[in-house]
Amino acid sequence: MSSQRTFGITIVIILLAACSGLVHGEDATTQPSGRQRVAVFNLSGALREAPVEIEFGFNWEKPASLHDLLEKFEKAGKDERLKAIVLTFDSPAFGWAQMQEMRQSIHKLRAAGKEVFCYLEQAGPSVYMLATAASRIALTPTGNVQLVGLSSEQTYFKGLLDKLGLAADMICVGDYKGADEPFTRTGPSEQSKEMMDWLIKDLYEQMIEAIADGRHLQPNNVRRLIDRGPFTAREAREAGLIDELVYAEDLTNALRERYGTEIDFVHNYGQDKGPNIDFSNPFSFFSSIGKMMGKSKPKASDTIAVVYIEGVIMTGRTEPSLFGESNSVGSTTLRRVLTKARDDENIKAVVLRVNSPGGSATASDIIWHAASELSETKPLVVSMGNVAASGGYYVSAAGVNIFAEPGTLTGSIGVVGGKLITKGLWDWAGVSFHETNYGKNADLYSANRAFSEEQRATIQRHMQQTYEDFKDRVQQGRGDRLSKDLEDLAGGRVYTGRQAAANGLVDRLGGLREAIEYAAAEAGISKYDIRALPEPKNFLDMLFEGMTEGKEKDSDNLGGDITYRPRFPGWSLPAGQAILSILKQADPLRAQAIRRGLLRIELLNRESVLTVLPTEILIR
């Protein structure tokens, strides 16, 4: 099929979808004027950090993002007609720090005079912790509360590599780095066990404190309740973990009795209203479609820019994702974004929102350098999400002030490198390779054999230099704010946000909203717009980029325009996809951990030195 025909079909689909969105979309403002309202938010699936990368221009339901949800909560707090907020849940998958940030937003809603109700069908620790911030918790009569404590898992691939005839030859700098362990061991080292213990213990204490505060219980009573769990619906009510047992329709009726029968329930609160179109006038129709698909120009007013670093850090450009979670962020894209933010006179301060386990050491340093140059001209504040570790902490070190949630995972100042030896797999398959090498170390990264002792010493020397550079960046940014010698805090050690604050690796405990307010105060402004960067691309722009791929492009500076699309060796084949699909259905959390772990193998094929979190940590 020709590209022109494909483009034409795509446009027809887009126009039909636009019409559908306009016919069925309805903003909260279209409700009858004067009536009191209750906003209903359903939290379902994964919660992205940044707004969706692609703007469709019409009322298409976008993937949920923390950015959008917090904006809607803030709007709800100022809405005089809004009496209450109801939160419902459908297999949510938000991180620990995201949950804590939403808790703070719920507290602000209640402080603004809004009642917040959580309706649960069942709840694990993370969802229940969020619910305890609400005014009241309702549970379906046949539901349950899985309050049983915290359990963590780390993923190890050595057994899989052995079965495939593969071996990882890796080197770490930092006694606690342990990023080689998922590929060289079947279980954790003593240092990794020690580190996981201090991490999970602190998260467990945070859980107890949150529940005790939200349900007005003594911490020791919460500990005893956890050891009694899980709870049936009746047991949960008797224990004071919830307030009432009701079905959804009964809760609806109860809210009508509470606020009046004329109350409106708004299920799309805060969603943008689509434009009105005169369908009888084709010129008006296509004009409206053009406006919807066009990119709006930023307002010429004081602005706080929020620059998102989400996913594994890699060299090259960020690959946009139409509908799902981005797996990686490119240093070329971030460098350009930070440079433009630095030169934009309307942007008075920048908040760097980091939700990344790290990745390429080179890419991390490129982003750090661009962020450092920006911080010399305007305030740069860092806000950490669920994880900002290793390379994620590297780029954060450029910030003048760093905010983290108590449950953020951060630190991991260390380095890992190596290669994957594939000879055993090829021998099994009956494939052999003949090498011809000129140069003493021409076969340094050969997949046929492990490093020689001399080669290992060379790699170790290079990695040690990267480690020293990493520590130098941290020392420049943190200075005398560190609680002890940096080497005692580094070495690959991972901390919770609360532990990091105690050690001077971060400055304040708080979320994105607090970081934005702090940045505005540093810039000396009280009225400002908030702009998310990188800015969402227009959908038509994306289509035309796809059609012109491979053609000559202009660039505003050096640095290349290479786009890296993560690939998982073998898993792109139909059999691999089928296995991942089955795993995702049977055990989605573990499937995600495996997928992210395999990305580290792909990173080894591209980069000689990595600054990446030791392993995927799965907390249930």
The string of DSSP codes covering 525-569 is -SS-EEEEESPPEEHHHHHHHHHTTTS----SSSS--PBP----T
Amino acid at 529: D
User: Among 182, 133, 179, which residue's Cα sits nearest to residue 154?
Assistant: 182
Residue 321 binned pLDDT confidence (cut-offs 50, 70, 90): low
In 534-610, which ranges are continuous DSSP H helix?
Answer: 539-547, 574-586, 588-606
CA distance 30 to 23: 13
CA distance 355 to 369: 18
Q: Are 390 and 144 in contact (CB under 8 A)?
A: no
Q: Are 316 and 607 in contact (CB under 8 A)?
A: no
pLDDT digits (tens, 9 = 90+) for 231-267: 999 999 999 999 999 999 999 999 999 998 889 999 9
pLDDT of 534 reads: 85
Q: What six digits make up the tokens of 209?
A: 């404190």
Pairing of strands 82-93, 409-411: unpaired
CA distance 274 to 55: 13
Cβ atoms within 10 Å, residue 620: 13
Evaluated on CA atoms 14, 15, 17, 21, the torsion sign reads positive
pLDDT at 325 over 60: no
pLDDT at 471 over 50: yes
Q: Are 363 and 344 in contact (CB under 8 A)?
A: no
Report the share of the chain in percent with pLDDT over 90. Answer: 64
- Contacts of 187 by beta carbon, 8 Å cutoff, 6+ apart: 156
pLDDT of 60 reads: 46
β-sheet bridge partners, residue 41: 87
SS3 label, residue 496: strand
pLDDT digits (tens, 9 = 90+) for 529-562: 999 998 766 555 555 555 544 444 444 445 444 4
pLDDT of 565 reads: 46
pLDDT of 59 reads: 47
Distance spanning both ends of the chain, measured CA to CA: 47
pLDDT of 597 reads: 72
Pairing of strands 82-93, 115-123: parallel
CA distance 159 to 594: 13
pLDDT of 581 reads: 65
The DSSP element (H or E) to which 105 belongs, if any, is helix 96-111
- Contacts of 379 by beta carbon, 8 Å cutoff, 6+ apart: 348, 349, 350, 400, 519, 522, 523
Q: What six digits make up the tokens of 252?
A: 């609806």
Residue 485 binned pLDDT confidence (cut-offs 50, 70, 90): very high
- Contacts of 419 by beta carbon, 8 Å cutoff, 6+ apart: 168, 169, 170, 445, 447, 451, 604
CA distance 96 to 195: 18
Which residues of 188-261 form beta strands (DSSP E)?
231-232, 244-245
pLDDT of 3 reads: 46
- Largest Cα–Cα distance in the chain? 84
Q: What six digits make up the tokens of 241?
A: 């973990």
Q: Are 96 and 498 in contact (CB under 8 A)?
A: no
SS3 label, residue 539: helix
| Domains defined for the chain, CATH in brackets | 3-148+229-266 (3.90.226.10), 303-619 (3.90.226.10)
pLDDT of 613 reads: 83
Query: Is the bond leading into 230 cis (omega within 30 degrees of zero)?
Result: yes
pLDDT digits (tens, 9 = 90+) for 19-29: 544 444 444 44
User: CA–CA distance from 426 to each of 165, 433, 434, 440, 576 (Å)?
Assistant: 8, 9, 13, 25, 18
Cα–chain center distance at 139: 29
Evaluated on CA atoms 120, 126, 128, 129, the torsion sign reads negative
User: CA–CA distance from 339 to each of 350, 375, 556 (Å)?
Assistant: 11, 11, 11
pLDDT at 276 over 80: no
Q: What six digits make up the tokens of 413?
A: 């100042």
Cβ atoms within 10 Å, residue 105: 22
pLDDT of 24 reads: 43
Residue 600 binned pLDDT confidence (cut-offs 50, 70, 90): confident
